[in-house]
Structure 1
Amino acid sequence: MRLPARVLAVVVAVGCVAGCSASSPAPVTPPVSAAPPATTAASPAEALAGKDALAAYRGMWADFVTAGLTSDWRSPDLGRHAIGVALTNLSRSLYADHYNGIVTKGEPILNPIVRSADPTDDPVKVIVGDCGDSSHWLKYRADDGALTSATSGGRRRITGVVDKQADGSWKVSDYAVEDLGTC
């Protein structure tokens, strides 16, 4: 899989935030891009792929929200909708929180849309754009329930790569979360 340089740079930055930091990473919030969706009509294959990819994308975040309640970095549910780099980053983020005695409560507000499907006649890869709000999905100390001082919710742009698997299912293989205020 080859990502555009801009997306790759964001993915690398997010990967480090999610997995390289000794402290708990910032809450991951799904954002929507400012650009409007394409105006051309999607083929039936594109429409179905987009629907399935968006379901996988939403499912990944729902699984992450559930695991975040206890910072269960080994939750088998994380692999239901995520694979590869996406799964690794989710697990690393939860492990960092577990290690630091932090849990995440609440839920993000997601607004995903399909940016592209490739190839158009029988898509196997869908790029999802999102602008979500983590204002009500914050990090707390597990021992006393106090809000962490590093918590900062808000809107962020997210780009997700969702791939069709050999069994026909769709899973998020990578994602990039940008800084607060990027959408």
Structure 2
Amino acid sequence: MAAYTGMWQQMVKASETSDWQSPALANYATGDALGVINRSLYTDHLNGVVSKGQPLTNPHVTKVDPESNPNTVMISDCGDDSNWVKYKKDGSPFTDAPGGRRSITAEVKKQADGSWRVTRFAVEGVGSC
């Protein structure tokens, strides 16, 4: 759970400046998950967009595998990004789709060094939870 919540905290921090190269992101995400985050932040950087505020999360574990000594954990969440809003870097409003409650699923895997990182996640559309 710490890897999942840490990933979101670091995404929020990196989105304040659209820092797609933030090394802190790799402490919580790897593989496909890190790629999605980096591409999203890079797109915001290219478009001169930053984010303010913070999403709300309410994650819970839905599956551990294997149960006796897990190396994979599945997490479900109903996140709310209503208060995590994009702005142009000069502070002016950025026309963006309104936020809301979204279903999120994530896979967290134990790494070779013993740490846990989010390897994949999917965020569904507003109103999906």
TM bracket (short chain): over 0.9
**The residue matched to 1:82 in structure 2 has which SS?**
coil
> What residue is the counterpart of 1:86 in the other structure?
33
Is the counterpart of residue 111 in structure 1 residue 62 in structure 2? no
Structure 1 moving runs of 4+ over 3 Å = none
AA in 2 matched with 1:84:
G
- 1:148 Cα deviation after fit: 1.4
- 1:151 Cα deviation after fit: 3.6
Select 1:163's aligned residue among 93, 106, 109: 109
- 1:106 Cα deviation after fit: 0.5
> What residue is the counterpart of 1:20 in the other structure?
none
- 1:147 Cα deviation after fit: 2.3
Is the counterpart of residue 180 in structure 1 residue 104 in structure 2? no
Structure 1, unaligned runs of 5 or more: 1-53
CA distance in 2, matches of 1:167, 1:151: 40
Select 2:19's aligned residue among 65, 68, 72: 72
**The residue matched to 1:117 in structure 2 has which SS?**
strand
- 1:112 Cα deviation after fit: 0.3
Assess if the C-alpha contact under 8 Å between 1:114 and 1:126 holds in 2: yes
* Correspondence list, 1:1-183, <5 A: 54-143=1-90, 145-183=91-129
- 1:146 Cα deviation after fit: 2.0
Over residues 98-153 of structure 1, what are the superposed CA-to-partner deviations in whole Å (9 max), with x where a residue is unaligned?
Answer: 0000001100001000010001111000000000111110100112x122112411
TM norm structure 2:
0.98
RMSD: 0.7
AA in 2 matched with 1:153:
G
- 1:180 Cα deviation after fit: 0.4
CA distance in 1, matches of 2:26, 2:98: 27
Over residues 148-176 of structure 1, what are the superposed CA-to-partner deviations in whole Å (9 max), with x where a residue is unaligned?
Answer: 11241110000000000111110000000
AA in 1 matched with 2:48:
G
The size of the alignment, in residue pairs, is: 129
Assess if the C-alpha contact under 8 Å between 1:139 and 1:151 holds in 2: no
TM norm structure 1:
0.69
Structure 2, unaligned runs of 5 or more: none
CA distance in 2, matches of 1:58, 1:151: 24
